[in-house]
């Protein structure tokens, strides 16, 4: 690997040729603010908050799209850089609702985090503000375009991570927005409800609807677990408040899926507290299902299967497994069929 040597904030660092200043800084443990950049998405350079000062360059380039060069000298927190970031934040909140005290994204909003970091309390610019209606049509995603900063993360996530191409930029100038094709409500669009757009949104423009009003991010305990809906083995974090699950949050460290989840994995958790959920085995007695203990249920299953084997032989039994089970569960199914029931009549729904 061809390594480039450069100096960032007085420290000599090395970075692979072709990498950006932002990537070099991250690898060296130097924090540069960013809103539009995401390591899983293509670089866009939209928010400009990651600007840095490069020796010999009269401009302040965006570090997320500027490649490193040999001997480059970079300052990430010079007076000029700090002033530029303050102005960028000032411009952003000029058309942004200042309802942080009641915003559900507070505590996990990068815009408010950086405004606090650079002491930007209010905007210096008075003028027209957008007043888009709240889009509550989607059963899983709450969309408030008044809080959108046009970072484009949702557009790129929909295209690059999901492949749905449901979101894009529409209109120009002041009317520009990141929205659906034809600017229709989410429910009328081609949205597949995966929630990738929510996972990458740095503000409260896109929120997990089931979580709204239940908890802010700093109020929940994140508990890593594996999705039970299929055999892929996706990981995510359960958001737990007061010992109750209130939502699902992506975890970028998940080895199988990263932050990617399907609609079931991200939003299908509410069955936990369903009144119709079975909490104990049921055995039909006199034509009616009645609650039973696990021991009673297992004994009944064993006796019934044993009776079938004794009366009709092993070949009268067959098992059909599912791709929605884990490898371990499928292994146990075929092992039981072969070793206990004595037959190789094993099939699988994914065989075809």
Determine the angle formed by the axes of helices 79-93 and 110-117, rounding to 10 degrees.
130
Q: Quick check: 40 pLDDT over 80?
A: yes
Over residues 273-281, mean pLDDT = 91
Query: With bands split at pLDDT 50, 70 and 90, how would you rate the model's confidence at 293?
Result: very high
Q: How high is the pLDDT of residue 352?
A: 56
Q: How high is the pLDDT of residue 348?
A: 85
Q: Which two three-digit tokens encode residue 243? A: 């010992």
Over residues 246-261, mean pLDDT = 92
CATH topology of domain 3-77: Ubiquitin-like (UB roll) (3.10.20)
Q: Residue length, the chain?
A: 352
CATH 3.10.20.740 domain extents, the chain: 3-77
Q: Quick check: 222 pLDDT over 90?
A: yes
Residue whose structure tokens are 């974090």? 237
Query: With bands split at pLDDT 50, 70 and 90, how would you rate the model's confidence at 326?
Result: confident
**CATH code reported for the domain at 217-277:** 2.20.25.90
Please state, in angstroms and as integers, the Cα–Cα distance from residue 284 to each residue in 257, 280, 289, 298, 305, following that order: 41, 13, 4, 14, 16
Q: Which two three-digit tokens encode residue 113? A: 């985090």
CATH 2.20.25.90 domain extents, the chain: 217-277
Tell me: the pLDDT tens digits for 114-141? Answer: 999 999 999 999 889 999 999 999 999 9
CA atoms of 292 and 277, how far apart (whole Å): 15
Residue 76 contacts residue 52 (beta carbons within 8 Å)? yes
């Amino acid at each position: 690997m061809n390594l480039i040597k450069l100096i960032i904030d007085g420290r000599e660092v090395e970075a692979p040729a072709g990498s950006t200043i932002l990537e070099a800084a991250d690898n060296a443990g130097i924090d540069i603010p960013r809103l539009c950049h995401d390591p899983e998405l293509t670089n866009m350079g939209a928010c400009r908050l990651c600007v840095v000062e490069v020796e010999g360059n009269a401009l302040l380039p965006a570090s997320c799209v500027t490649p490193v060069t040999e001997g480059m000298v970079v300052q990430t927190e010079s007076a000029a850089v700090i002033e530029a970031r303050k102005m960028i934040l000032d411009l952003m909140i000029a058309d942004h609702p200042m309802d942080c005290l009641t915003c559900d994204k507070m505590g996990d909003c990068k815009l408010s985090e950086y405004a606090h970091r650079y002491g930007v309390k209010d905007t210096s610019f008075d003028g027209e503000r957008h007043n888009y209606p709240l889009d509550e049509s989607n059963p899983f995603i709450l969309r408030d375009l008044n809080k959108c900063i046009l970072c484009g993360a949702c557009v790129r996530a929909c295209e690059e991570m999901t492949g749905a191409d449901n979101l894009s930029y529409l209109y120009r100038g002041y009317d520009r927005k990141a929205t659906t094709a034809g600017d229709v409500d989410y429910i009328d669009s081609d949205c597949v409800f995966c929630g990738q757009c929510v996972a990458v949104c740095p503000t409260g423009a896109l929120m997990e609807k089931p979580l709204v009003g239940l908890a802010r991010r700093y109020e929940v305990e994140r508990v890593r677990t594996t999705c039970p809906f299929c055999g892929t083995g996706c990981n995510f974090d359960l958001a737990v408040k007061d010992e109750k699950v209130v939502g699902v949050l992506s975890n970028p460290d998940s080895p199988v899926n990263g932050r990617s989840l399907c609609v079931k994995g991200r939003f299908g958790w509410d069955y936990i507290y369903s009144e119709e959920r079975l909490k104990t085995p049921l055995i039909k007695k006199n034509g009616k299902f009645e609650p039973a203990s696990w021991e009673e249920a297992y004994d009944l299953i064993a006796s019934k299967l044993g009776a079938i084997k004794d009366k009709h032989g092993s070949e009268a039994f067959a098992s059909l497994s599912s791709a929605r089970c884990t490898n371990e569960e499928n292994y146990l199914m075929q092992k039981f069929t072969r070793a206990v029931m004595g037959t190789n009549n094993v099939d699988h729904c994914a065989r075809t």
